[in-house]
Amino acid sequence: MVKHLISISDLTRDEILDIIELAERLKDERSRGVFRDYLKNRSLAMVFELPSTRTRVSFEVAMTEMGGHALYLGWNDLPLGRGETIADTARVLSRYVSAIMARVRSHETVAELARHSDVPVINGLSNLEHPCQTLADLLTIKEKKGGFDIKLAWVGDGNNVCNSMILASAILGFEMLVATPKGFEPSESILKWALERGARVELTNDPLAAVSGADVIYTDVWTSMGQEAEREERLKAFRPFQVNARLVEGAKDDVIVMHCLPAHRGEEITDDVIDGSHSVVFDQAENRLHAQKAVLLRLIS
Ligand code: CP
Ligand code: NVA
């Protein structure tokens, strides 16, 4: 059976820990200038319906550094943009490449790709989830905190990145407080899945209460890709949820501040915080490369 990574819940606790350990090994090898052709003659198709810096570059560099090749396929450069079906696209790409990574507007699109692909399909962000981001973030948390005995405060929008982190908290057992304005909570189906598995996840509308005692503060943009029409309404609703110096002071002294990037500086996070001593956002960005190398190696066999 082909193994896909559509949701972080496609991975067991052991598989997540294994991917993180492998990522650590690959990161160490790279830091010593050691590059091995683990994926020689393998190709990755990268389908993008939405823009990207980190996902695009980290996957492409990951393939190159492991002796393989990645193809950037913009949605509108493919017949997909003119009506070829997702199913046929998956069938055809499967005949050429060893894996498909897709960044899509609708989660159903990446699920449909996986249903019809004979090779692994990786979700490079959908409206519902961002599992590759979560794996890089877990690697970062392990590096900075030594493990997952943590309390993570999510502050802002209950979006795709938040959803995947909630699933990870259920799988790994860490505590998560989610502070959003009313009406911007995480996905109900995600919460249901997590709570049924005994997740220690709580929702609140009070960002200060959420960060109290937190080891990690995580925030993301208030307006995700595809929600641009709601920007003005969102700016108003989210203003009290800015991650600024005052909020960071409410957490533990050694709290780390995370953001998946790209950031809207001055909105969800202030310059002094994102550039300050608690911030680990550029380590997170770097860790996309190492975590995705590990995912590619585990899925392409
Ligand atoms: N964090 C992240 O996925 O960034 P990009 O949108 O630049 O890929
Ligand atoms: N929540 C953001 C994440 C970008 C990496 C978005 O979907 O636009």
ipTM for the predicted complex: 0.99
Over the range 31-62, which residues count as b (16 or more CB within 10 Å of their CB) and which as e?
A: eeeeeeeebeebbbbbbbbbebebbbebbbeb
Tokens of 84: 């070829």
pLDDT of 13 reads: 98
Instruction: Examine the domain organization and report whether 24 and 120 are in the same domain.
Output: yes
Inform me whether the pLDDT recorded for 180 exceeds 90: yes
Average predicted confidence (pLDDT) for the chain: 98
- 2 assigned to some structural domain: no
Mean pLDDT in residue range 228-248 = 98
Enumerate the H helices of the chain as residue ranges. Answer: 13-31, 54-65, 86-96, 107-116, 131-145, 160-172, 188-196, 207-211, 231-238, 245-249, 271-274, 281-299
- Confidence band of 151 (pLDDT split at 50, 70, 90): very high
Inform me whether the pLDDT recorded for 301 exceeds 90: no
Q: What is the dihedral of CA 41, 104, 177, 203, to 10 degrees?
A: -150
Tell me which residues are annotated as active site. Answer: 103, 130, 133, 220, 260, 288
Instruction: Examine the domain organization and report whether 168 and 95 are in the same domain.
Output: no
Tokens of 18: 């294994």
Q: What is the dihedral of CA 85, 45, 10, 28, to 10 degrees?
A: -170
- Give residue 226's domain range: 133-284
Instruction: Examine the domain organization and report whether 137 and 279 are in the same domain.
Output: yes
- 60 assigned to some structural domain: yes
Instruction: Examine the domain organization and report whether 139 and 26 are in the same domain.
Output: no
Inform me whether the pLDDT recorded for 119 exceeds 90: yes
Distance 198 CA to ligand 1 centre (A): 30
Distance 213 CA to ligand 2 centre (A): 27
CATH number for position 92: 3.40.50.1370
Instruction: Examine the domain organization and report whether 137 and 272 are in the same domain.
Output: yes
Instruction: Examine the domain organization and report whether 141 and 266 are in the same domain.
Output: yes
- 170 assigned to some structural domain: yes
pLDDT tens-digit map of 21-45:
999 999 999 999 999 999 999 999 9
Residues belonging to the binding site for carbamoyl phosphate are: 52-55, 103, 130-133, 260-261, 288
Instruction: Cis check for the bond before 207: say yes or no (omega within 30 of 0).
Output: no
- Per the structure, the count of domains in the chain is 2
pLDDT tens-digit map of 267-292:
999 999 999 999 999 999 999 999 99
CA distances from 48 to 75, 95, 148 (A): 6, 19, 32
Instruction: Examine the domain organization and report whether 274 and 292 are in the same domain.
Output: no
What does pTM read for this prediction? 0.98
Instruction: Examine the domain organization and report whether 268 and 138 are in the same domain.
Output: yes
Instruction: Examine the domain organization and report whether 118 and 149 are in the same domain.
Output: no
Residue of the CA atom closest to atom 3 of ligand 2 = 224
Nearest atom in ligand 2 to the alpha carbon of residue 127 is 7
Ligand in closest contact with the CA of 56: 1
Instruction: Examine the domain organization and report whether 93 and 186 are in the same domain.
Output: no
Instruction: Examine the domain organization and report whether 83 and 208 are in the same domain.
Output: no
Instruction: Examine the domain organization and report whether 124 and 233 are in the same domain.
Output: no
In whole angstroms, what is the distance from residue 218 CA to residue 209 CA?
14
